[in-house]
Amino acid sequence: MEEGNNMIKTGVFTNFPMSQQALGLSFLAVALVGSAHADQEQPGATPFRPTVTSGANISMPGWLELEFGGQRLGGNGADQRNSWPYLLKYTINERFALLLGGDAYVSVAPAQSVALSGQGDTTLTLKYRAAEAPEGSSFGLEATVKLPTAMDGIGNGASDYSVKAIYGIDLPNELHLDTNLIATRLGAVATNQGRYQWGWAAAVSRQFGDKWTLAGDLSGTGQAGSPSTAQFLAALSYALTRRVVLDAGFAAGLNSSTPSFNVFAGMTMLIGKIN
């Protein structure tokens, strides 16, 4: 959900207060300084951004990686929402990784009440990547708990638990397909709503040269007693260095139950080895 310097200066980041813009630019500055001293023999970043769909890949064991960005969504009756999502990733070994994520900052502007801002909810994830898979394919699983760290109006005050199955395969013409199926047990539901939400996502990507990657993504959710959602996402990524990848893109809702727009930008940065 990010891209190059011009996007950071003129894109979604201009929708946030100056202090929040400064925070985002500071992250970029740290990334540039750190990458300037990177050894070319060291591993590169492994972005999970910018698609909704997750791939099975994880970073190199023992390495710490950070994803950070900004996004703005709304339309189709959804509250206008600005946020700074982050994801801190640590790979334990060739099969398992720990992920800590959430929204560092959220501002919500409901149509008929006072605007709210503050920290968002927090997620903890254990990710598994199958070590052995047929050539050109990959398998993975994620188990996630969402902790209700956000204030009322930004979050719902309840914990959610989800499991995600991941399958990826290489396609002709240098294309790659990742698919996800997600089951979530919701901690807070309205009367007549089902306790479980089912999600799906699929993304096709293609790398152009050593720097650029283009991706398209379809995703949606379904829940008993609640309208289904569906959206299309398009994004472009640019490898600024081996250890810093920038991205930017947009998503459009495909039905009236999905926010009509979502624009985003951010980066993935390989911080360093910690063991």
CA separation (Å) from 244 to 103, 193, 223, 254? 21, 42, 37, 32
- Give residue 14's pLDDT: 43
Is 70 exceeded by the pLDDT of residue 157?
yes
How far, in Å, CA of 183 to CA of 55, rounded?
Answer: 17
CATH architecture of 5-109+117-269: Beta Barrel (2.40)
Q: What's residue 81's pLDDT?
A: 93
3 state DSSP class of 1: coil
Q: Which of residues 2 and 103 earns the better pLDDT score?
A: 103
CA dist 141 and 221 (Å) reads 18
The pLDDT value recorded for residue 18 is: 46
Percent over 90 (pLDDT), the chain: 75
pLDDT band, very low/low/confident/very high, at 113 (cuts 50, 70, 90): confident
Q: pTM score, two decimals?
A: 0.84
pLDDT-wise least confident of 106-120, 137-151, 219-233 = 106-120
Measured CA to CA, the distance from residue 256 to residue 233 in angstroms comes to 16
pLDDT in tens, 24-71: 545 555 545 554 444 456 789 999 999 999 999 999 999 999 999 999
CA-derived radius of gyration, the chain? 18
